[in-house]
């Protein structure tokens, strides 16, 4: 075979043609999701030049960027009547340090002066930067919400427009109304959206219903920054669902349930905790199989004989590799050829080589789809333990994420029973907690019932109910019936 296979190119093609964004691994942060999604929903990016000049004091090494020196900034503010002449330079310096910490609170500012390296932790249209690293993921989910939950999109745009949050008010003297139009609907050309199967239709219906319910709760919420924070958790949760459902969208596989663990115990002490670990493991294996399928689609240009005679793939043409690394890749490719000999169809052959290419990329690439799932889930309070290097994660929610789920399932003018809550969590988020035949059936379908017993699941739901009571979102009536409500009932 004359054509050399380059792994990075194949990954890029699969991400572009089937995923819609590049799931980057170790460096992605929740603020990157916010930056991309809010810019996409607003449909514009701001001119942040003055914000950069005022707020970026020093880089990580203590170096002051040219033009951002205290004297230069002070004189510029005085010339434009943006600061009182009586303000001491030391006070301005102290304020600028506070400003830098505020906007870099989520550690998404890699360089405060270069576009593409800035994702601000802020909450209005004035801080919507031009596209930056790792923000394509946020643009993707923002585009889906804009297309399939327009009510939420319109509401979030109105929040960004008002700019009445404390951070925007602090920066008011230097905010610029100049905006550049931005359009990005990354999902539109993907086969999964153009010819939606039942799994995709179910996913989009849940996103729409959850988004509309969350929006109605936002309308009665007083704090715009809290609203945007909860909205970002909504985006991240839906992104994690999307990644873990790619196999269902393209290969017709079953939907893997997200089993939440409310036991507060370690996996060696709780069957629910162990089953939640299994829930996460099944999901990242599903991502593995999807990418293997994607690489197999790209290999359709080759026949079995060509693949059997092919050279070991390289990561990219310019990347050097050690002898030990090359030997490891050569061994994997030869093993794939040995497995392919036993295959009866070209499709099976391509899938064998696709699986091997996925394994090779896991060795060579610093960013990896499963790492993206793990890092996002850990940093946003969806996966536990919080140590990002811990291999065995399970679904344990922070209080903020749990509040987002509740506000996406319960309107302020209604009271839900425990069973109604279970159904909405499943339909809108693919979430299971336990305590009903319906949930047992879902776990059975995914071979997880062996990991957990019915009594443990019932106790898990009881712990969930106790958590809601402690948050003042539920109460157990005299007859033992759980009632879940967020307020607004006389």
Identify the band that residue 367 occupies on the pLDDT scale cut at 50, 70 and 90. confident
The residues, ordered by sequence, that sit 6+ positions from 331 with a Cβ below 8 Å of its Cβ are: none
Cα distances (angstroms) measured from residue 170 to each of 157, 163, 194: 21, 11, 45
For residue 11, cis peptide bond before it (omega within 30 degrees of 0): no
Q: What is the pTM of this model?
A: 0.94
Asked if residues 186 and 21 have their Cβ atoms less than 8 Å apart, the reply is yes
pLDDT at 167: 95
Most confident of 242-256, 318-332, 441-455: 242-256
Whether the pLDDT of residue 487 is over 80: the answer is no
**Which residue ranges make up each domain of the chain?**
24-244
Q: At what angle do helices 198-218 and 399-407 cross, to 10 degrees?
A: 100
Comparison of pLDDT for 478 and 200, the residue scoring more: 200
Among 316, 202, 243, which Cα is nearest to 18's? Answer: 243
Among 264, 248, 188, 168, which Cα is nearest to 430's? Answer: 248
pLDDT at 281: 92
Identify the band that residue 407 occupies on the pLDDT scale cut at 50, 70 and 90. very high
Comparison of pLDDT for 71 and 489, the residue scoring more: 71
pLDDT (tens digit, 9 = 90+) per residue, 66-122? 899 999 999 999 999 999 999 999 999 999 999 999 999 998 998 888 888 899 999
Residue 184 has phi, psi (to 5 degrees) of: -155, 110
pLDDT (tens digit, 9 = 90+) per residue, 138-150? 999 999 999 999 9
Measured distance CA(209)–CA(286) in Å, rounded: 26
pLDDT at 2: 56
Mean pLDDT across 122-139: 94
Instruction: Name the DSSP letter for residue 127.
Output: G
Mean pLDDT across 344-363: 92
Cα 137 from chain centroid (whole Å) = 7
């Amino acid at each position: 075979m004359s054509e050399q296979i380059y792994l990075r190119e194949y990954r890029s093609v699969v991400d572009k043609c089937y995923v819609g964004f590049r799931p980057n691994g170790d460096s992605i942060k929740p603020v990157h999701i916010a930056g991309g999604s809010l810019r996409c929903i607003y449909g514009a990016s701001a001119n942040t030049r003055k914000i950069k000049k005022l707020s970026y004091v020093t880089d990580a090494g203590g170096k002051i960027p040219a033009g951002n020196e205290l004297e230069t900034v002070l004189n510029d503010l005085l010339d434009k009547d943006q600061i009182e002449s009586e303000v001491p330079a030391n006070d301005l310096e102290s304020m600028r340090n506070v400003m830098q910490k505020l906007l870099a609170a989520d550690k998404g500012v890699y360089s405060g002066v270069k576009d593409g390296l800035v994702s601000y932790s802020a909450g209005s249209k004035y801080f919507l930067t031009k596209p930056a690293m790792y923000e394509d993921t946020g643009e993707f989910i923002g585009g889906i919400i804009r297309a399939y939950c327009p009510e939420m999109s319109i509401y979030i745009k109105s929040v960004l427009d008002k700019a009445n949050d404390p951070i925007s008010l602090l920066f008011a003297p230097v905010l610029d109304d100049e905006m550049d139009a931005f359009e990005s609907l990354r999902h539109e050309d993907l086969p999964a959206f153009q010819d939606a199967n039942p799994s995709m239709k179910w996913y989009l219906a849940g996103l729409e219903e959850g988004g509309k319910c969350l929006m109605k709760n936002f309308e009665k919420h007083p704090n715009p920054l809290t609203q945007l924070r909860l909205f970002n958790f909504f985006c991240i949760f839906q992104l994690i669902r999307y990644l873990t459902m790619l196999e269902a969208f393209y290969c017709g596989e079953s939907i893997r349930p997200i089993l939440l663990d409310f036991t507060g115990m370690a996996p060696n002490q709780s069957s629910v905790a162990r089953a939640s670990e299994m829930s996460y493991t099944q999901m990242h294996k599903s991502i593995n199989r999807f990418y293997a399928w994607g690489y197999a689609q790209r290999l359709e240009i080759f026949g079995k004989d060509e693949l059997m005679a092919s050279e070991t793939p390289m990561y990219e043409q310019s990347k050097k590799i050690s002898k030990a690394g090359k030997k490891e890749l050569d061994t994997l490719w030869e093993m794939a050829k040995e497995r392919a000999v036993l295959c009866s169809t070209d499709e099976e052959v391509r899938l064998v080589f696709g699986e091997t290419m996925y394994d090779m990329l896991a060795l060579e690439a610093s960013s990896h789809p499963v790492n993206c799932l793990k890092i996002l889930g850990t940093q946003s309070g969806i996966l536990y333990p919080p140590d990002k290097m811990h291999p065995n994660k399970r679904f344990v929610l922070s209080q903020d994420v749990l509040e987002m789920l509740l506000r996406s399932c319960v309107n302020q003018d209604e009271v839900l029973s425990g069973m109604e809550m279970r159904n909405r969590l499943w339909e809108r988020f693919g979430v299971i907690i336990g305590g009903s035949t319906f949930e047992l059936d879902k776990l059975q379908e995914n071979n997880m019932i062996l990991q957990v017993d019915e009594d443990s699941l019932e106790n898990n739901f009881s712990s969930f109910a106790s958590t809601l009571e402690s948050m003042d979102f539920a109460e157990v009536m005299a007859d033992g019936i759980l009632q879940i409500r967020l307020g607004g009932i006389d």
